[in-house]
Structure 1
C-alpha cells in the first residue's frame, strides 16, 4: 500500500508539474517508472514494448497535464492510464505474436523467483505454486499482482481494472480460494511478505 507520505509527495510533485516544473515531473518518473515498467512487461510479455509503453505514457501525460488537472491519487492514475493505453494498443494492432486472447485480457505470468524466495521452500512447492498461479484466469492474476506485488488497495485496483470494488474482492477471493484448495495459500502469502 502507498504510504501517506508517498501519496502526499506524489501529489505535491503533480501540483508542481501542473505549474510547468519539469524537475517535479522527473521526480514522478523516478518514483513510478520501475513499478509501471514491471506491470507493463507482465501485460505485454515483452520488455522492449513495455519500456516503449511506459515512455509513451509519460510523454502523453506531460503533454496533456493541463487538461488532466489536479490528481488526488497520482500512482493509481498512472497505472490506469498505462493499462488502458496497452489494451487500446493491443486492440488496434491485433498483435498475435503476443498471444493475447481476442478479449484482450492481459495475461500476467508469475515466475518462481517472484513468488517464493528459493531458500525458504522446496523446489516442488515452487513449481506447484507457479503452475497454479499461471492457471488462474487473466483477471484474477492481474488483481493478485496489483494487490500483493504493487501493494494497491482494492479501490485502486478497481479503478485500474475498470471494474467495481466488489468484483475486485471476488477476483482475489476466488484466486486465494484456489490456492487454499491446493494448500498453497500459506506459502504464497509468506512469499509475498518475505519479498517486501
Structure 2
C-alpha cells in the first residue's frame, strides 16, 4: 500500500485499527524532523531520541482512544515538544517553560535552510546575527511556521498562545529580521 497517497485521516484509521506498517510509515516520515526540532532545545541527543521513542510508544499504546482531529504531524510534534520540555525542565529544574525556551539555540543547518538560495557568506553571517537578536519564542515560532510548516492555529496551540498573539509574535520577528538585515547591509557597505 502506498501510504504517501493516503490522507492523515485514512492513515490514522489504519493505525487505530492496529496497522503496524502504517505506524512505521508515520514514524519514518517524522523521526528526522522531530530529532532536528529537538536539537533546538537541547544538545542531549540521547534525551531527544528517548523522547521521540516514548512519544511514539505512547501513541501506539493509546491508538484506540486518541482522536487526531488535525494532522498526525501536529499531534505528534505537540506531544513531542511537551514531553521534551517537561524532561529538560525536570533535569535543569527550570521554573517555567519560558526559562527552558531561553536555552533554545540556532544550529547551522537551520541557518543554512534560510539562506540556501544565497551564495554570499556575508549574507549567512548577517542572518545568523539577525536570528540571534530574536527571542527564543520568536525563533521557535519562525521555525515551526517556515520549516515544520504548521498552520498558525497549530503553532499557537503548540506554544500555548492565542492566534492573534502568534501573528504579532511572528510579525515582530520578521520586522526585526528585516531591520537587522538592512542594518547589517548598511554596515557592510560602509566598510
Q: Residue 86 of structure 2 corresponds to which residue in structure 1?
A: 88
Q: TM-score, normalised by structure 2?
A: 0.81
For 1:169-180, what aligned pairs fall within 5 Å after superposition?
169-180=167-178
- Residue 183 (structure 1) shift: 3.5
Residue 7 (structure 1) shift: 9.7
SS of match in other structure, 2:128: helix
Say which structure, 1 or 2, has more relative contact order (CA 8 Å, 6+ apart).
1
Structure showing greater Rg? 2
Q: Which runs of 5+ in 2 are unaligned?
A: 186-191
The answer on 1:104 being equivalent to 2:84 is no
Q: 2:31, 2:53 → 1: CA distance? A: 9
2:13 pairs, out of 12, 15, 19, with 15
CA displacement, residues 23-51 of structure 1 (integer Å, 9 cap, x when unaligned): 11111112221221211121223333222
Aligned residue number for residue 135 of structure 2: 137
- Tell me how far apart the structure 1 counterparts of residues 40 and 64 of structure 2 sit (CA, whole Å): 30
Instruction: For 2:118 and 2:136, locate their aligned partners in 1 and report how far apart those are by CA, in whole Å.
Output: 27
User: Contact 1:76–1:159 (CA<8 Å) still a contact in 2?
Assistant: no
Structure 1's 51 and 178: CA in aligned 2 closer, same or farther, altered over 3 A?
same
State the alpha-carbon separation in 1 of the partners of residues 153 and 45 from structure 2. 28
**Cα contact 1:40–1:53 (8 A) shared by 2:** no
TM-score of the pair, normalised by structure 1: 0.79
Q: Which residue of 2 aligns with 1:26?
A: 24
Counterparts of 1:30-179 in structure 2, within 5 Å, are: 30-94=28-92, 103-105=99-101, 107-111=104-108, 112-117=111-116, 120-179=118-177
